[in-house]
Amino acid sequence: MVVWQSPPADLGERLVRQMLRNWRNPDHEPVLRAVMQIAGNEPAVQERLRYIIERSIMRPSAQALASMDEDDIVALIAPAVQRYLDGDVSRARSPR
Residues 6 or more apart whose CB falls under 8 angstroms from that of 72 comprise 8
Confidence of residue 91 (pLDDT cuts 50, 70, 90): low
Contact, 29 vs 38, CB < 8 A? no
Q: Is the pLDDT of residue 72 over 80?
A: yes
pLDDT for the residue 90: 64
pLDDT tens digits, 34-59: 877 877 788 887 888 778 777 776 77
